[in-house]
Amino acid sequence: MNIKVKNVLTPLAWLFMTATVSSTVAATDYPIAGTAPSQRPVGAPTIEWIQHERAWFKNALTGVTQPYPRSLYFLDNQGNWYTPFTHPGMVDRYDLRRWHH
């Protein structure tokens, strides 16, 4: 295939795929977030409460000895969002909590 023809067909293929996907998504009745950033879309799901299991707290407090410092009480209110505190970090001498040991 000629390089010039290939350079024209690739963007056309992407345009066709994008139009197909967007028309499929637009046909759903899901609320669309971001159209009015100051307002939550009507019917959008909400998280009412979070209850972490004992195993989650044990994992989150890996390498921390009791009595736990007051600065870690934020874990009682930690939602389901990502926090680097509950995941292993760097290795070697930077692994203060011994996640990688």
Tell me the CA end-to-end span of the chain in Å, nearest whole number.
55
pTM over 0.85: no
DSSP tally for the chain: helices H, then strands E: 2, 0
Q: pLDDT tens digits for 3-54?
A: 665 565 576 677 766 665 555 555 567 667 677 878 877 777 888 888 899 9
What integer pLDDT is reported at residue 67 of this predicted model? 94
| Contact indicator for 97, 62 with CB cutoff of 8 Å | yes
pLDDT tens by residue, 66-86: 999 999 999 988 888 888 888
Q: How far is CA 37 from CA 5, 46, 83, 84, 94, in A?
A: 42, 16, 24, 27, 40
Q: What is the pLDDT of residues 43-61, one digit of tens each?
A: 778 888 888 999 999 999 9
Please state the length of the chain.
Answer: 101
Q: Tell me the domain boundaries of the chain.
A: 1-41, 54-94
pLDDT of residue 42: 78
What type of residue sits at position 20? T
CA angle (91, 71, 50) in 5-degree steps? 90
- 86, burial (CB in 10 Å: exposed 0-12, middle 13-18, buried 19+): middle
